[in-house]
């Protein structure tokens, strides 16, 4: 059974760094050739893709947020971590992690439960 379980703070202060963890089970990053993305959704707004790590550990970033984002993977812990620096009010959103295979079909097929992160002092 494939699951993605997210953990992290629900409240961060402006200028702080956000660290979110996605712990996966039911598949292997490398053996299954699976990557994981982080995607966010401000309240009442659209989905925005943030970053992706492939099974090879190659990483991709949203160009408009690239300077603030770091995605990393710990295979031994089955975890993918996203850090976002210099948080501001516009970063208040529900953050999701989602799995996508390196091979076709390239779909986000399993998602974490989502976590609302509020930026406020």
Partner 1 sequence: DIQMTQSPSSLSASVGDRVTITCQASQDVGESLNWYQQKPGKAPKILIFDASNLETGVPLRFSGSGSGTDFTLTINSLQPEDFATYYCQQYENLFTFGPGTRVEVK
Query: Applying CB under 8 A, which residues contact partner 1?
Result: 37, 39, 46-49, 52, 60, 62-64, 96, 98, 100, 104-109, 111-114
Residue by residue, DSSP assigns 39-75 as EEE-TTS--EEEEEE-TT--EEE-TTTGGGEEEEEEG
Q: Is the CB of 29 or the CB of 96 nearer to partner 1?
A: 96
Cα–Cα distance measured from residue 115 to residue 113, given in angstroms and rounded to the nearest whole number: 7
- Please, which residue, 27 or 49, has the CB nearer to partner 1? 49
Residue 12 Cβ vs partner 1, minimum distance, rounded to whole Å: 22
Longest dimension (CA), the chain: 44
The residue behind tokens 């991709």 is 60
Q: Which is nearer to partner 1, 16 or 60 (CB)?
A: 60
Question: Which residue's CB is nearer to partner 1, number 4 or number 81?
Answer: 4
Least separation in angstroms between residue 93's CB and partner 1 is 13
Query: Least distance from C-beta 107 to partner 1, angstroms?
Result: 5
How many CA atoms lie within 13 Å of 107's alpha carbon, on the beta-carbon side?
Answer: 3
102: DSSP letter: S
């Amino acid at each position: 059974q494939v699951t993605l379980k997210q953990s992290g703070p629900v409240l961060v202060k402006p200028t702080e760094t956000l660290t979110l963890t996605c712990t996966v089970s039911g598949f292997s990053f490398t053996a299954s050739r699976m990557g994981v993305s982080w995607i966010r959704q401000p309240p009442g707004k659209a989905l925005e893709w943030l970053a992706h790590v492939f099974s090879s550990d190659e990483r991709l970033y949203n160009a408009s947020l690239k300077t603030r984002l770091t995605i990393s993977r710990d295979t031994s812990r089955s975890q993918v971590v996203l850090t976002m620096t210099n948080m501001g009010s516009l970063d208040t959103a529900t953050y999701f992690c989602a799995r996508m295979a390196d091979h076709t079909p390239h779909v986000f097929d399993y998602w974490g439960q989502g976590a609302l992160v509020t930026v406020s002092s």
